[in-house]
Every structure is written in structure tokens, then in C-alpha cells.
């Protein structure tokens, strides 16, 4: 039919125009194979590298004194009552973390959760210590470092209590958990990936 002849003529003319260096015999051979591949080059997209936001280094944080509490602030702003709402938030956080502190909950499960939990806002008490002056200190944890807790007491005094050679207890909804500071010498951010052994001999 006339339509197929027109199509054949159009394709031949199109190939001749698209590939002028190719001979007629080669074009005819391509048509008999009924497979035409036109060369096309994709432009490679250059990937833009994302710039990582750099935070402060440990040295810069020390120089800027970001985590230091000035004595004037301690006298003016540091009141035990101010941080009670923080403690309430911490209790709700632990309840959600432990899926509700029910009476039939397994103690070792709660203990393992608490060991990796954020303790800022928890009320702790020093129950045992090699230094008798630390025993009985009770308050809300304001800051946790690798080696010390900073605790605000009911007397509105900021106490710096070392973890080493001290045993801390915390109570929540009837559950009492003990923290052996000598085995707890980690930053709060490092404890989430730490595997703690729940059994074994622990000395002060």
C-alpha cells in the first residue's frame, strides 16, 4: 500500500539525514534487520556534596565554658522547686520508656532500661560511699558528666558528686534501682550503646 511506501521513504530519508556518514547499503541493512539504534549521550549530572554542619569540638566547648554553671547563677536561679517540673517530665519519660511501670514488670528489664536512659531530671540518693560525707545527699540531677553528677538538693545547694566509689539509688512508682558509679563512668550519650552486665561482683 501507498502508506507503507511513504513510511519507508520517510525512514530512509530520516536515517540519511541523521547519519550522513553512513552509506546507503548500511542504511538498507539496518532497515532489513528492523532494528534502529540512534546514538544519544546523557549528560552526567554532577552531584552536589552536602556540607556537613560542624559542631563545637571538646576543646572549643571548654574554652567557651558552655557547660559551666557560674556561682552567681547558683545563688540566684538555682532553686530546687524550679526543677521539680523537670523531674515530672523525667518520670513520664521513664514510664514511656518502660511501657508503663506495672507491678508485674520484670525488675531486670526495668534495670536495663534505666542503665541506658537519660538521667537528667532524676532524683537520686547516695546510699553508699567510701567518703561518708557523700552518704545521704539527695537531689535532682542537673548535669551528668563522665565522672560526676551535678545535683541540686532540697536545700537549694548544688553538689558535685563523683561517680567513682559511690552507690546511687533512684525510686520511681515503687521501683528502686541502684547505680554503682564505679561501673557507670560513661557520658550520657555513650551509655545508650553500652552493654551492661547485670550479674557479677561489684565493689565500691
> For 123-175, how does the pLDDT look when each residue is reduced to its tens digit (9 = 90+)?
999 999 999 999 999 999 998 988 999 999 999 999 999 999 999 999 888 88
**Predicted TM-score (pTM) of this structure:** 0.61
In whole angstroms, how far apart are CA 33 and each of 24, 63, 135? Answer: 14, 76, 93
| Domain annotation for the chain: domains and CATH numbers | 1-32 (no CATH), 77-193 (2.30.30.210)
Query: Could you tell me which of 117, 134, 112 has the C-alpha nearest to residue 125?
Result: 134
Query: Residue 184 has what pLDDT?
Result: 84
The larger pLDDT score, comparing residue 133 to residue 25, is at 133
Place 76 in a pLDDT band, splitting at 50, 70 and 90: low
Q: Which residues contact 108 (CB under 8 A, 6 or more apart)?
A: 198
In whole angstroms, how far apart are CA 81 and each of 35, 69, 95, 106? Answer: 83, 18, 22, 33
Amino acid at each position: 500500500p501507498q502508506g507503507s511506501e511513504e513510511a519507508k521513504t520517510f525512514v530512509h530519508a530520516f536515517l540519511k539525514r541523521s547519519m550522513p556518514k553512513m552509506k546507503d547499503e548500511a542504511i538498507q541493512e539496518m532497515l532489513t534487520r528492523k532494528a534502529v539504534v540512534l546514538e544519544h549521550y546523557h549528560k552526567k549530572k554532577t552531584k552536589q556534596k552536602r556540607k556537613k554542619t560542624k559542631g563545637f569540638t571538646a576543646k572549643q566547648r571548654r574554652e567557651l565554658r558552655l557547660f559551666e554553671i557560674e556561682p552567681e547563677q547558683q545563688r540566684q536561679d538555682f532553686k530546687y522547686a524550679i526543677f521539680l517540673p523537670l523531674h515530672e517530665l523525667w518520670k513520664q519519660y521513664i514510664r514511656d520508656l518502660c511501657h508503663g511501670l506495672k507491678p508485674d514488670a520484670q525488675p531486670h528489664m526495668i534495670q536495663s532500661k534505666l542503665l541506658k536512659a537519660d538521667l537528667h531530671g532524676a532524683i537520686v540518693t547516695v546510699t553508699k560511699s567510701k567518703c561518708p560525707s557523700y552518704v545521704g545527699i539527695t537531689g535532682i540531677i542537673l548535669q551528668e558528666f563522665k565522672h560526676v553528677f551535678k545535683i541540686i538538693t532540697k536545700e537549694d545547694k548544688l553538689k558535685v558528686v563523683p561517680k567513682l566509689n559511690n552507690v546511687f539509688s533512684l525510686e520511681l512508682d515503687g521501683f528502686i534501682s541502684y547505680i554503682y558509679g564505679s561501673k557507670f563512668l560513661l557520658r550520657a550519650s555513650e551509655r545508650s550503646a553500652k552493654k551492661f552486665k547485670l550479674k557479677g561482683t561489684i565493689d565500691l
